[in-house]
Amino acid sequence: MLPESSPRELAKALTGISGFDDVTYGGLPAGRPSLVCGAAGCGKTLFAATFLVNGATLFDEPGVFMSFEERAEDLIANVASLGYDLDRLVAEKKLAIDHVRVERSEIEESGEYDLEGLFIRLAYAVESIGAKRVVLDTIETLFAGLTDAAVLRAELRRLFGWLKERGLTAVITGERGEGQLTRQGLEEYVSDCVILLDNRVEDQITTRRLRVVKYRGSAHGTNEYPFLIDEEGISVLPVTSADLDYGASTEVISTGIPGLDAMLGPGGFYRGSSVLISGVAGTGKTTIATHLLDAACRRGERCMAFVFEESGSQICRNALSVGLDLKPHLDAGLLRFEAARPSLYGLEMHLARMNRDVERFKPSIVVIDPVSALRGPANELQATLLRMVDMLKGRGITAVFTSLRTDGSFDQVGDLGLSSLMDVWVKLQDIDANGERTRTLYVIKARGMSHSNQVREFQMSAKGVKLVDAYVGPAGVLTGTARLVQEAEEQAATLRRRQDSERRKREVVRRRQSIERQIAELRASLDVAEEEEQVLIGEDETRESLLADERAALAGRRGAAE
């Protein structure tokens, strides 16, 4: 992060150029001349025009554009590509454009040569609109016929002194010289601020870079910063590295996939996390990222996707195959795709473009699909990825990176340290078995939360994404039809065991019933025997009684006879 400027620093004039005012801690020195130099095509004139247009439209500071090369109508047509309406600003007295034609044959090199005519024209233009800003484009044309260094230096000092006396914040453009910043090599010494623009071509890819060479009386960023010129104007990426002082949210957001949420302890990712989804081609990296975008849009959040292999329309069409309709989110302005081939820009230009788009759209979730598509030297690519992660994390944006891996290993070789920067790493992998390919998913790490360490089978269908448990047994992890066959075999074995158990239970019941019947029969036989015994006993008692009675009767008769 760039430090805040001190209130005791010199007064500054904001340029309104995104990122540049951060690099210079407040803009260009107010009331002083600044030199913007560089080779042809690096954007000097557009930088100067933006400085004037923003001053007139954003900061109520009218400006004068004095050109020594382009005619006014040519300048108006050229900057119209940035959306600047110079004709309207001229009509509103917020801008004055003056073309000074300088012919070398008309310049006499002598001690009497001066810029009085220029001062008169410039003063008139400044006073006509009450200008606070001035652009002189380019100074080489003005001094094209001078070869006397003493005269040249004197006139330059007069010009710069004249601008300072009137308190004009000036931008003077100059062409890059051989072995020095400008052709004469003097402008950079008499300027209070020197900005060097560079249009560099490496591996057939163009990258524009900006550097503050010097800034009298003020601290400033000293590195080279990529900057972007397109239909939306100029933007500079001021961040070279971020301090690790960003906050850590405890808010949990859903991934849009219930099974994946269940694998994470809190039920999703922490907001502001950096999430890596890696895997070989065809494992569903973009599909998972699309679920994240859909879930966020359904919550009413803004989302942005930087895609390097597919167009936004193609991603929306493909999402329909898994039951996701992204078009309503696009129509509502919640979702935005930025699609470009990796070879369209250099690494730093991609980063500058992302920084500008994120700053303007202000999304809560950003998807970069795939980050592995970016190409460049390993050290530059690693630095770019680090700055990309810091840029998003510093804004509290949940960042989702997809990365193509050509193998199924878990090592970090070849990922340029990206996995170590991530808060969450979800690994997708294909398993080939039984003549089929099955997708699987792992959560390798999830900082600050508990998470499942188990493998899940990853299924995609018209109903969406579903995670199912993979079979883990003595033969290893089984997925797909192998898992289905194993599950069927286990179900059959379970059924056999249940049937055997039920059969044994029925046998026990039958044996119990048989024994109980035998017991009942024996008990009935015993009861019959007891009843018979009672009858016999009764009969014996009756006979005994009858015998006793008979004996008594006989005894009575004998007694009567006597």
The predicted-structure confidence for 58-68, as pLDDT tens digits, reads as follows 999 999 999 88
- C-alpha to C-alpha distances, 66 to 71, 76, 102, 208, 255, nearest whole angstrom: 10, 13, 12, 25, 56
Q: pLDDT digit string (tens) for 204-253?
A: 667 788 889 888 888 888 888 888 887 777 878 765 444 566 778 889 99
Instruction: Name the phi and psi angles at 248, rounded to 5.
Output: -125, 115
Per DSSP (E only), the strands in 222-282 are: 225-230, 233-236, 252-253, 269-270, 274-279
> Considering the entire predicted model, what is its pTM?
0.67
Alpha helices in 244-311 (DSSP H): 258-263, 285-298
Give residue 492's pLDDT. 80
- How confident is the prediction for the chain on average, in pLDDT? 82
Q: How far is CA 403 from the centre of its chain?
A: 12
For tokens 């005994």, the residue is 544
Mean pLDDT of 385-394: 86
CA–CA gap between residue 115 and residue 259 (Å, rounded): 76
- Alpha helices, DSSP H, located in 166-284: 187-190, 258-263
- Secondary structure of 408-470 in HEC code, one letter for each residue: CCCCCCCCCCHHHHCCEEEEEEEEEECCEEEEEEEEEEECCCCECCCCEEEEEECCEEEEEEC
Q: Which CATH class is domain 12-236?
A: alpha beta
On whether the CB atoms of residues 135 and 33 are closer than 8 A, the answer is no
Write down the domain spans for the chain: 12-236, 252-469, 482-550
Provide the greatest CA pair distance for the chain. 206
Distance of CA 518 to the CA centre of its chain: 82
Query: For residue 388, what are the contacts with CB-CB under 8 A and spacing of at least 6?
Result: 351, 354, 368, 371
For the stretch 453-503, pLDDT in tens is 888 888 888 888 888 776 665 555 566 666 666 667 777 888 888 888 888
CB atoms under 10 Å from CB of 345, counted, come to 20
Q: How far is CA 333 from CA 302, 312, 320, in A?
A: 8, 14, 19
Q: Judge whether residue 287 has pLDDT over 70.
A: yes
Residue 515, pLDDT score:
92
For residue 337, what pLDDT band results from cuts at 50, 70 and 90?
very high
Are 232 and 356 spatial neighbours (Cβ–Cβ below 8 Å)?
A: yes
Instruction: Give 132's strand partners.
Output: none
| Higher pLDDT pick, 147 / 312 | 312
Q: What's the order of all strands across the beta sheet hosting 424-433?
A: 335-339, 303-307, 365-369, 398-404, 274-279, 424-433, 436-446, 456-461, 464-469
Helix or strand holding residue 95 (H, E): strand 95-99
End-to-end Cα distance, the chain: 156
Share of the chain above pLDDT 90, in %: 23
Checking if the pLDDT of 122 tops 60, the result is: yes
Residue 395, burial from CB neighbour count under 10 angstroms (0-12, 13-18, 19+): middle
Is residue 105's pLDDT more than 90?
no
Do the two domains 12-236 and 252-469 of this chain adopt the same fold? Answer: yes
- 2: confidence class by pLDDT, cuts 50, 70, 90: very low
Evaluate if residue 314 carries a pLDDT over 90.
yes
Q: Are 209 and 198 in contact (CB under 8 A)?
A: yes
Report pLDDT for 244.
63
For the chain, what is the radius of gyration of the CA atoms? 46
Assess contact for 377 and 250: CB atoms under 8 A.
Answer: no
Is residue 181 very low, low, confident or very high in pLDDT (cuts 50, 70, 90)? Answer: low
Considering only 155-169, 218-232, 277-291, which range has the smallest mean pLDDT?
Answer: 218-232
Task: Give the CATH fold of the 252-469 domain.
Answer: Rossmann fold (3.40.50)
On the question of pLDDT at 441 being above 60, the answer is yes
Amino acid making up residue 147? T
